[in-house]
Structure 1
Amino acid sequence: MSSSSSGSEESGEKKTVTIRGLNTDIYDRVSRLARETGTTIGEIVNEALRRYITTLENISKAIDNMIRAGDVVVISGVSSLTVTRADLETLDKPVVFKDMDELIFADDVNNDIIKSKVARIVNVNTVYVPKSVSTLLIASKSELVKKIVPR
């Protein structure tokens, strides 16, 4: 019985695709980078997508391991969530916030409670924090967060 690879990444097979909704500024930057480095736009996009997928897989594995070990509580799929110090203190384990449009930490949340009760913030568009909370502390716990906004 012989096996063959059809359409897999390893086969080197290439396909022409159209990507709708691509930001023109990003395309122009990739195009310029391709010219400057002597590669093709396709090679750069393939490498970027490969790295992005690997990053997502690694994040997912790490969170899955924390969940399996019973080390964290996961809050996900909520569009917008406001979290107070009391909310965090009621949890007996650190929390992972994931897959949200916005996560808002109330004014009574401080650096110490973030350090002890927030394990990760993953795939959240915007995280709002009190001005007293370190944005670098939030960033150190974040993956795929678009904006961290002090308020």
Structure 2
Amino acid sequence: MSTNEEKKEEESEGKKIIAIRGIDERLYKEAARISREIGWTIGELINQSLKLFLATFPALTKKVAESTEQLVVKPTKEFIEAAKEAVKRPLLDYYLISDLEEVVLSKKDLEELDKPLVITSVQKVIVDRDVDFDLFDSKVLYLQFVDEVVVPSNYPKVRLYTKLKHVKKVSFT
């Protein structure tokens, strides 16, 4: 297939060729090697890597903001530099649930957690009726890249929405 035909095929699938300046050649070569090993294209690997970064960045920004005792609304140049340094070492220890079809959270499940919970790339998350919002709020850091979240009808909507990122649908039961 010619390059023009490949480009047209990618664009028709909602994908296009993107050039990114400043990529470390050593990192790119290592990513390309890994993508070949696992049978992915480099684009698929980069997409998954970006998805993982986007899933963990809110936890990182929250911890950096707490450590500097200020609320970071928009990352400043200084904040971004601090975040780059922070990525080199773990700042926030949390449980991560990802890449499942469905997750059901009960009161007992959340009460047993000794650190925050992040759920990402799950099709459906169901929060049992026995989980009050204060418990949910104190244990769940955020849910991201979730198709549907089902929660009890008494949850305060605005406070709930602050925990959701890239969620397609919220249902109240």
Q: Same fold (TM over 0.5)?
A: yes
- 1:57 deviates by 7.4
Q: Report the equivalent of 2:133.
A: 111
User: AA paired with 1:19?
Assistant: S
Residues 138 and 72 of structure 1: CA distance in aligned 2, closer, same or farther (over 3 Å):
same
Q: Report the equivalent of 1:62.
A: 57
Q: Report the equivalent of 1:121.
A: 143
User: AA paired with 2:125?
Assistant: L
Aligned equivalents of 2:51 and 2:118: distance in 1? 15
Specify every segment of 5 or more residues in structure 2 that has no aligned partner in the other structure, as ranges. Answer: 1-6, 17-46, 64-88
TM-score by length of 1: 0.60
Aligned equivalents of 2:119 and 2:127: distance in 1? 12
2:55–2:144: 8 Å Cα contact kept in structure 1?
no
TM-score by length of 2: 0.53
**Alignment partner for residue 118 of structure 2, among 64, 72, 96?**
96
Larger Rg: 1
- 1:98 deviates by 0.8
What do you get for the CA RMSD once the two structures are aligned? 2.9
Residues 106 and 60 of structure 1: CA distance in aligned 2, closer, same or farther (over 3 Å):
closer
Matched, 1:137 2:159: yes
Specify every segment of 5 or more residues in structure 1 that has no aligned partner in the other structure, as ranges. Answer: 1-14, 22-41, 43-52
Q: Report the equivalent of 1:147.
A: 169
| Aligned positions, number | 107
